[in-house]
Amino acid sequence: MVESVIQEAGFKIGWGVWARSGLAIVLAYLIARGLSHGLNRVSQRAVEHRIAIKMLIPVFKACIYGGTIYYVLSSVLQISSSQLLAFSGLFGAALGLGIKDLFANVVGGLVMILERPYRVGDKIQLGDHYGEVLDIGIRTTTLVTPNDSEVSVPNYLLFTESMSNANAGSPEMLVVTEVAVDVDADIGRAKEIMEQALATSQYFYASDDHQPWVNVDDGPRYTTITGKAYVNDHRNEQQFRSDITERVLDRFEEAGIERPTFPE
């Protein structure tokens, strides 16, 4: 049935057309992969400009694939306005029949390109998923989780779920580290240790607008010492938190600052 509709609409698709279309798509894929690989390599060498360079990848990809689609449709298939109308009818029917989710993802992808709620290289929470944005595709966004797993998150989640962006294009991001101490512990000393642990970490970053601070929250069973500081590169988030926690706990033990105990 589809073939007859295509023939009625005036398409003349021979092997040469398929071959040229296929070649154009393969070439576009190789160029996009090569460019993506090259820009990734360059971005690894410069932390300061890493995200800016990585942001170029989806832009280049969109240009390459957009240009390829244009080439295939206009030059190879030589679509006329009546053919485009027929194609639109088919597209509408297909959309109604079962690709509405795909379409929602594509619209989500387009919104993302226009509004840029996050960029490649950002650390985001989208729905239940948290990680660094590795790639923004037209259908899905690929995240790398703290456990180094790649997760493809459908773009339509942008409309249905809350989204938080930890660094919004900057290499640095705020990291929160909490440690609990006994209610009778020397809170002043504990706070001082946390402050110094933050500021002496190799992953620490500070500027006039990015200062560390420490909160103390009193609770019935324990007191929480919360350190907040910026990590110099958000890829070091886990190492930063671990480094602070490890050194704080070591020093608490040396200083006789007791940790809370819970009844069994």
Partner 1 sequence: MEEVVGPLLAAIDEQDRLVAAVTAPPAGGRAAALDRIEAELDGPVARVQAGPGVVPELPEEGIVIVEDCQLLYERRIDGFEGLEQLRSAIMDSEATIVLGWDRYAWQYIAQVREIARLIDHVAGIPELSAAQMGQLLEERDVVEGIELIDDRDRSAKIVDIEWRRVGHGERQIGVPVPRVDIAALRGDMAEEAAEDAVVRRLTEAAGGLPGVAWQLWQAALHDGAVRYGDISATEVDDIDAVTAWLLYIVLTNEQVSMDQLDRMVTDQDIEGLLYRLRQDEIVRSEDGTVRLRVQAIPAVIDALDRRRLLW
What is the contact surface with partner 1 in residues (CB under 8 A)? 30, 33-34, 37-38, 45-48, 171-172, 193, 196-197, 199-200, 202, 205-208, 211-212, 232-233, 236, 239, 247, 251
Instruction: Select 48 or 217, whichever has its Cβ closest to partner 1.
Output: 48
Instruction: Select 90 or 206, whichever has its Cβ closest to partner 1.
Output: 206
Phi-psi region of 148 (alpha: psi -120 to 50; beta: other; left: phi over 0): left
Instruction: Select 153 or 197, whichever has its Cβ closest to partner 1.
Output: 197
Nearest distance from C-beta of residue 34 to partner 1, angstroms: 5
Instruction: Select 226 or 239, whichever has its Cβ closest to partner 1.
Output: 239
Nearest distance from C-beta of residue 200 to partner 1, angstroms: 5
Instruction: Select 75 or 196, whichever has its Cβ closest to partner 1.
Output: 196
Amino acid 217 reads D
Nearest distance from C-beta of residue 93 to partner 1, angstroms: 38
Nearest distance from C-beta of residue 240 to partner 1, angstroms: 11
Nearest distance from C-beta of residue 129 to partner 1, angstroms: 24
Instruction: Select 101 or 246, whichever has its Cβ closest to partner 1.
Output: 246
Q: 217-222: which pairs have CB atoms within 8 A and are 24 or more residues apart?
A: 218/183, 219/183, 220/183, 221/183, 221/260, 221/262, 222/180, 222/181, 222/182, 222/183, 222/260
Nearest distance from C-beta of residue 211 to partner 1, angstroms: 7
